[in-house]
Amino acid sequence: MRAYRVHAFGGAAGLETVDRPDPGPGEVRLRIAACGLNFADLLMLKGEYQERPEPPFTLGMEVAGTVEAPGPGVQGLAPGDRVAVFAGQGGLAEWGVFPADRCVLLPPDMPFETAAAFMIAYGTSHLALQHRARLQPGETLLVTGAAGGVGLTAVEIGHAMGARVIAVARGADKLAVARAAGADHLIDSDTTPDLRAALKALGGVDVVYDAVGGETFMAALRATRPEGRLIPVGFAGGGVPQIPANLLLVKNLTVIGLYWGGYMAFRPGLLRDSLAELMAMYSAGRLHPHVSHVLPLERTDEALELLRSRKSTGKVVVAMGAAP
């Protein structure tokens, strides 16, 4: 089978032919239909992600496909079942072996390309806003990087939860995507020299969902109302902010850590419940995943570059059956 393999952090990676894997106890082999790409894949290529699989390994954190062969001891999954999996690695391939307890059955009406773009982005935003930040109807939610993979889902979920949503993104095209997802106010980071002032002019914010980091986070911090909550979910801008504790003290602020994948280790039931709720929202027509690009496996380098250059909106998906 073909797989996109990484042989050294920061070194060359690419498509090659490897043996098709067999499932062990508690595992299933999937015929992979699609793999969603994430900013974390770029970090994993460089060895800078919080989880560092030893090379060589196959890149690709989240996949959707069809169960082909359940391993020994697997119950509740059968050949032909359509599932999505948070895999951590192994998704950019034609087949893959994954833990059966990480598989989520798909609604009949959910395409594989949508399913591969769903779990991490929606799961992160839902857990962050509902479980961690306790976002309330009528509160003001700020989303930075609002047209990106996770940011756009935060706009959509925040809107569905009854919040007033302020979206920050680069350029009119990306802001239009955020508007369509439910943003009430739009701020163009390319043309706004003073983000703090712009946010204060809108009355400040109660919850910050930040995927950018750096100076963007610091501006948002200074525009947060007393008892506000801030959730750093990524650092796409390249800088990890150093948070002044005196500001937290004076304004009674809370900074909330969130690593969605970490819940697999210590509260997997919470993730399963969250994903079940999200799947129900999708089936009810309340969520509308946005996939800006679908590329075939042989164009994986191009797909990754779309993330690296920030030329995509929503998610980028590699589909095994996509046209070259």
Same domain, 106 and 9: yes
Q: Tell me, what's the pLDDT at 239?
A: 82
CATH number at residue 239: 3.40.50.720
Same domain, 25 and 108: yes
Residue 103 falls within a domain, yes or no? yes
Tally of structural domains, the chain: 2
Q: Tell me, what's the pLDDT at 324?
A: 67
C-beta separation of 141 from 206 below 8 A: yes
Same domain, 32 and 141: no
Pick the closest to residue 144 from 100, 94, 192, 86 (CA basis). Answer: 192
CATH number at residue 305: 3.90.180.10
Residue 32 falls within a domain, yes or no? yes
Q: Domain span at residue 172?
A: 121-261
**Residue 198 Cα distances to 187, 215, 219, 220, angstroms:** 8, 14, 10, 10
Residue 30 falls within a domain, yes or no? yes
Same domain, 158 and 71: no
**Residue 219 Cα distances to 129, 194, 207, 237, 292, angstroms:** 20, 8, 13, 13, 29
Same domain, 137 and 239: yes
Same domain, 77 and 186: no
C-beta separation of 4 from 15 below 8 A: yes
Same domain, 245 and 132: yes
Same domain, 49 and 74: yes
Torsion, CA 156, CA 162, CA 168, CA 173, rounded to 10 = 50
Structure-token pair, residue 294: 């679908």
CA distance 263 to 294: 29
Residue 96 falls within a domain, yes or no? yes
Same domain, 255 and 243: yes
CA distance 315 to 292: 6
pLDDT tens for the chain, 324 residues long, are 999 999 999 988 999 999 999 999 999 999 999 999 998 999 999 998 888 899 999 999 999 999 999 999 999 999 999 999 998 899 999 999 999 999 999 999 999 999 999 999 999 999 999 999 999 999 999 999 999 989 999 999 999 999 999 999 999 999 999 999 999 999 999 999 999 999 999 999 999 999 999 999 999 999 999 999 999 998 887 688 899 999 999 999 999 999 998 888 889 889 889 998 999 999 999 999 999 999 999 999 999 999 999 889 999 999 998 766
Please say which residue of 261, 276, 299 terminates a domain.
261
Claim: this prediction has a pTM higher than 0.85: yes
Looking from the CA of 130 toward its CB, the CA atoms found within 13 Å total 21
Residue 270 falls within a domain, yes or no? no
C-beta separation of 137 from 162 below 8 A: yes
